[in-house]
Structure 1
Amino acid sequence: MHPLTEQQIRASFANATRREAASAALPDLDAVPWDRLEYLGWRDRRAPRSAYVVLELDGAPAGLLLRATAPDPTRVRRTTLCAWCQDVRSTDAVLLVARRAGAAGRAGNSVGTLVCEEFTCSQNVRRVPTASEVGTDDEDVRALFVAERVAGLRERSRHFVEGVVRGR
Structure 2
Amino acid sequence: MKPMTEREIRTAFVNCTKGEAKRLFIPHDLAERPWDDLDFLGWRDPQAPDRAYLAIELDGRATALALRCPTHVPWRTRRSMCSMCVTTHTGGVSLMVAAKAGRAGQQGNSVGAYICSDLACPLYVRGRKNAGVGARLHESLTLEEKIQRTVTNLSAFVAKVIA
Would the TM-score normalized by the shorter structure come out above 0.5? yes
Which position in structure 2 is the counterpart of 1:138?
none
Structure with the greater alpha carbon radius of gyration: 1
Which position in structure 1 is the counterpart of 2:9?
9
Pairing of 1:1-168 with structure 2 (within 5 A) = 1-27=1-27, 28-72=29-73, 74-88=74-88, 92-127=92-127, 133-134=138-139, 145-165=142-162, 167=163
Contact map agreement 1:94 1:117 (CA 8 A) in 2: yes
Separation in structure 1 between the aligned mates of residue 3 and residue 76 of structure 2, nearest angstrom: 38
Contact map agreement 2:76 2:90 (CA 8 A) in 1: no
**For residues 127 and 8 of structure 1, do their structure 2 counterparts lie closer, same or farther at Cα, with a shift above 3 Å needed?**
same
Separation in structure 1 between the aligned mates of residue 64 and residue 30 of structure 2, nearest angstrom: 15
TM-aligned CA deviation for residue 103 of structure 1: 0.7
Amino acid at match of 1:62: T
Tell me the TM-score normalized by structure 2: 0.87
Separation in structure 1 between the aligned mates of residue 13 and residue 76 of structure 2, nearest angstrom: 33
Secondary structure of the residue that 1:69 maps to in structure 2?
coil
Amino acid at match of 2:138: E
Q: How big is the alpha-carbon RMSD for the aligned residues of Structure 1 and Structure 2?
A: 2.0
Unpaired segments of 5 or more residues in structure 2?
Answer: 129-133
TM-aligned CA deviation for residue 70 of structure 1: 3.5
Amino acid at match of 2:155: R
Separation in structure 2 between the aligned mates of residue 59 and residue 39 of structure 1, nearest angstrom: 13
Which position in structure 2 is the counterpart of 1:139?
none
TM-aligned CA deviation for residue 127 of structure 1: 2.1
Unpaired segments of 5 or more residues in structure 1?
Answer: 136-143
Secondary structure of the residue that 2:49 maps to in structure 1?
coil
**For residues 90 and 149 of structure 1, do their structure 2 counterparts lie closer, same or farther at Cα, with a shift above 3 Å needed?**
farther
Amino acid at match of 1:110: S
TM-aligned CA deviation for residue 159 of structure 1: 1.1
Tell me the TM-score normalized by structure 1: 0.85
Secondary structure of the residue that 1:64 maps to in structure 2?
strand
Secondary structure of the residue that 1:51 maps to in structure 2?
strand
Separation in structure 2 between the aligned mates of residue 117 and residue 111 of structure 1, nearest angstrom: 16
More helix as a share of residues = 1
